[in-house]
Amino acid sequence: MVHAALIGMEFDRGLPAHERPMFTEGYEGFFHLVHIEGNMEEANMAYIIRDHDREKFEAKKTLVQNLANTLNEKYGTGTIQLELEDEYKNMKELILPVMYIVETARQAMIDVGVEPLVTPVRGGTDGAQLTYQGLPTPNLFNGGHNYHGKYEYIPVESMEKAVDVIVRIAALYAEK
């Protein structure tokens, strides 16, 4: 008897344990299990795969495909039905040629009293989607904390500073 949920757990154990969001930071890529449900007959799992480097990103996708193939060889063709699709790519390669937009944002922050901290964003779906559609959109701060958790919040003062930065960006471009 084949137990779908146990095979799902085996799939998860086949991914590098040290490449989970809780064990990575900065520019380190990861495999993020965002949904799991299952029983003996059927199991469904959804992951987000991230990396800041295109080659490493492609290698992660290949690892997932190879893992699915291995389990299909072990338990029978069709046991694992993998749907692998790119949600979005890292926008760095499209932002680098137009770094002046990042420099303008940095100057706007300085002008309104915000210390610019350039850090890797481990998400940024909207900015990445817009960038790949032809509108380079680096992610700016919004002052939020504890993202995607039940204690996520943004202080009003931080939102006000974010507005000040956006207005200053517009003013800097109007001066050109």
Distance CA 151, CA 158 (A): 16
Highest mean pLDDT pick, 25-29, 33-37, 54-58: 33-37
Contact (CB, 8 A) for 45 and 32: no
Q: Is 107 helix (H, G, I), strand (E, B) or coil?
A: helix
Instruction: Say which residue, 129 or 152, is predicted with more confidence.
Output: 152
- Where are the domain boundaries for CATH 1.10.150 in the chain? 92-174
Report the percent of the chain where pLDDT is more than 70.
98
162 Cβ neighbours under 8 A, 6+ residues apart: 140, 141, 142, 143
At 5 the pLDDT is 97
The ranges of the chain annotated as CATH 3.30.70.360 are 4-75
**Digit-coded pLDDT (tens) for 85-104:** 887 777 888 889 999 999 99
- Let me know if domain 4-75 sits in CATH 3.30.70.360: yes
User: Which tens digits make up the pLDDT trace of 43-69?
Assistant: 999 999 988 888 999 999 999 999 999
| Residue range 92-174, CATH number | 1.10.150
